[in-house]
Amino acid sequence: MARFELKPVNELPKRRLRREPMYDEIISNFLQSDMKYAEVSVENKKPATVLSALRKRAKDKGITVRSLGGKVYLERT
């Protein structure tokens, strides 16, 4: 039988989010460009990860982030 231990704690540790400034840079570069649409791909990242990260950062910036056919796109609105 496996041994285990339960220890009381007063509170849960704070969750540390890893910030990826690369996604902020993608949004910034798109805003500075004259592109209406752009396809985004990030090396070693799944499209769903890129989609989620960009959606959070594009909020209230006049950009729509879409996933079509397994690819991620930015669109000026």
Percent of the chain with pLDDT over 70: 96
- Burial zone of 50 (CB within 10 Å; 0-12 exposed, 13-18 middle, 19+ buried): buried
Answer yes or no: is pLDDT of 28 > 70: yes
pLDDT of residue 1: 74
Q: Compute the CA torsion angle 31, 34, 36, 39 (nearest 10 deg).
A: -70
pLDDT of residue 19: 67
Instruction: Give the Cα separation of 26 and 49 in Å (integer).
Output: 14
List, in sequence order, every residue forming a beta bridge with 38; answer none if it has no partner. 74
pLDDT of residue 16: 74
- Predicted TM-score (pTM) of the model is 0.74
pLDDT digits (tens, 9 = 90+) for 46-71: 999 999 999 999 999 999 999 999 99
